[in-house]
Amino acid sequence: MSSISVLAQPQDTIRVNALHALAYCPRLFYLEEVEELYTQDDRVFAGRRLHTEIEKEEGAEWHEFVLEDEMLGLRGKVDALRTRNGQTIPYEHKRGHCYRDENNRPQAWNSDRLQVLAYACLIEAALGITVSEGRIRYHTDNVLVHVPLDEVGRQEVHQAVQQARRLRASSDRPPITTNERLCVRCSLAPICLPEETRLVQDSQRHAVRLFPEDDDRQVVHVLEAGTSVGKSGEQLKITKKDRSVSTVPSHTVGQLVLHSYAQISTQALYFCAEKEIGVHFVSGGGRYLGSFDTRQGSIQRRVRQYKALSDSDTCLKLARQLVSCRGQSQRKFLMRGQRGTQTNPMLEQTIDQMQRILKQVPQAEALPSLLGLEGNMAALYFKTLPSLLSDGSASEFQFDGRNRRPPKDRFNALLSFGYALLLKDVINAILFVGLEPALGFYHQPRTQAPPLALDLMEIFRVPLVDLPVMGSINRNQWDVDTDFEIRGEQVWLSESGRRKFISVYERRKEESWKHPVTGYSLTYRRLIELEVRLLEKEWSGEGGLFGQLVIR
């Protein structure tokens, strides 16, 4: 195998593979080349295997070239370069089917055609030779398509390079494609969310779910103080204080949560960053401490976030949606207490009062007035919430309103630990998506908790914490003595209580919920990420679905 390499790679050259994405969909080009968002699905890995097999089969005939030309504005690696009858010809190999014209003749897809033409132009410029054509082998059909390089083709490549440069200089994403079929095969559909955008544009549309149904990787909680986490090959190595060791394959882990005084090595941190494993820290008392931020690139996304959330009208609009969403969920949760035959006058009065306050939310003209409305609803909600405790639940779980820092009763101890885990999950999603947790639209930066995470938490407090906590108490899942630690007026979960709560919480996240607007079902753990992405759409000109998750 021979190769020609160019040392310098100026910023103004475009990858030839990027032109392939540009011809397929300008938005795909922007997501990959400007926002640096990449995914590697089965098709990508299958393509790599194909090239490896071809290289082994063709041996000496395979010549791979890495080339760059500043004047042309391109750089790239040619799949194969061969000489036929004195002519140098670049080859591209594709796994799939070719395009067929109206006469059923095999043709190249537009994106493949532009790619091989770009390689031909690059070879001409870099090697000082004339290239008459490029060829594309479609292996599923076993078809070889010839793509002639003429002046029209050279001009097409030049125009594509200019379009790519304009997009790289822009801070705005191109609109979604009008060709819906392209989205089905696009690996970045879970980031682009084209179907959700189309649903906003046409509310009568039946949305096709392109967002991944679930992330089946587990959340590993390290609870015992003195436990250390390291790296062993492709696995995380967990060593307890008694020196017992367990290992977890990295591909099965989505998050690593270190409680109390558990430790992690630098090598393991780098490993987790490489494998996109979120690393989070929670105190022994159940307070969220922080997360390991591994974001790279996505500067344009945060610039758009800064610009949008620096606008007071945008913040007020989003805050109204948020307060309404949480208030409706709180009210509907209380309404579940009316399903029995016995009426509760206080419960009915609270539900009516909350409804009257909710009607005022859309008219709130400033964040302070909105905070007042939310505070009134929260006070009513937590004052009445004990009425949902069953007659058979332990009397030790009775409480009088919300209290924290520190919690003063068992019910609030459960809520506080649950909200800490929820905050951790929301921050994990925000960092994964690539937004800035410190810049929110409703909560103010008064504590160490990032405002955007506190904002998004409001949507999930009732379904992911309040509801399962109440259900677990009414099912008598807690031992009032061994699962809690009483320290004067402070009440905390013991280690056994934290383990039990984590089990309840993680099981709840695995349950599915049908989105009331999109109409498709996702697990709660997936819905958190979806809601972050829907929030980003609010300031990208494609909003309309954020803050619609209200329990039934």
pLDDT in tens, the chain (552 residues): 333 333 444 457 899 999 999 999 999 999 998 888 876 544 444 444 444 454 445 444 445 567 888 889 999 888 778 877 778 888 888 888 999 988 999 999 999 999 999 999 999 988 888 999 999 999 888 999 999 999 999 999 999 999 999 999 888 889 999 999 899 888 899 889 999 999 888 877 777 777 877 788 899 999 988 899 999 999 999 999 888 999 999 999 999 999 988 999 999 999 999 999 999 999 888 889 999 998 876 788 888 999 999 999 999 999 999 999 999 999 999 998 776 656 788 889 999 999 999 999 999 999 999 999 999 999 999 999 999 988 888 888 998 888 888 899 999 999 999 999 999 999 999 999 999 999 999 998 776 789 999 999 999 999 999 999 999 999 999 999 999 999 888 999 999 999 999 999 999 999 998 888 888 889 999 999 999 999 999 998 888 899 999 988
Domains identified in the chain, total number: 3
Please indicate, yes or no, whether residues 161 and 255 belong to a single structural domain of this protein: no
- Look up the domain containing 78 and give its range: 14-192
Please indicate, yes or no, whether residues 279 and 326 belong to a single structural domain of this protein: no
Is residue 205 assigned to a domain?
Answer: no
Domain boundary among 291, 326, 343: 291
**In this structure, which amino acid lies at residue 152?**
V
Tell me the two tokens of residue 156. Answer: 């097409």
Please indicate, yes or no, whether residues 272 and 392 belong to a single structural domain of this protein: no
CA dist 258 and 255 (Å) reads 10
What pLDDT score was predicted for residue 46? 46
Please indicate, yes or no, whether residues 183 and 228 belong to a single structural domain of this protein: no
Please indicate, yes or no, whether residues 179 and 249 belong to a single structural domain of this protein: no
Q: Are 198 and 205 in contact (CB under 8 A)?
A: yes
What pLDDT score was predicted for residue 341? 53
The DSSP code for 194 is H
What pLDDT score was predicted for residue 403? 85
CATH number at residue 424: 1.20.120.920
Angle, alpha carbons 170-175-177 (nearest 5°): 130
Please indicate, yes or no, whether residues 263 and 124 belong to a single structural domain of this protein: no
Please indicate, yes or no, whether residues 169 and 61 belong to a single structural domain of this protein: yes
Please indicate, yes or no, whether residues 528 and 389 belong to a single structural domain of this protein: yes
CATH number at residue 263: 3.100.10.20
Tell me the two tokens of residue 119. Answer: 């390689």
Please indicate, yes or no, whether residues 370 and 459 belong to a single structural domain of this protein: yes
Please indicate, yes or no, whether residues 261 and 346 belong to a single structural domain of this protein: no
**Full-model pTM:** 0.85
CATH number at residue 149: 3.90.320.10
Is residue 199 assigned to a domain?
Answer: no
Q: Are 43 and 95 in contact (CB under 8 A)?
A: yes
- β 74-78/245-249 pair status: unpaired
Q: From its phi and psi, is residue 466 left (phi > 0), alpha (psi between -120 and 50) or beta?
A: alpha
What pLDDT score was predicted for residue 1? 33
Please indicate, yes or no, whether residues 380 and 514 belong to a single structural domain of this protein: yes
Is residue 84 assigned to a domain?
Answer: yes
Q: Helix 110-127 and helix 151-168: axis angle, to 10°?
A: 100
Please indicate, yes or no, whether residues 361 and 256 belong to a single structural domain of this protein: no
Cα–Cα nearest to 498, from 215, 217, 225: 225
What pLDDT score was predicted for residue 345? 84
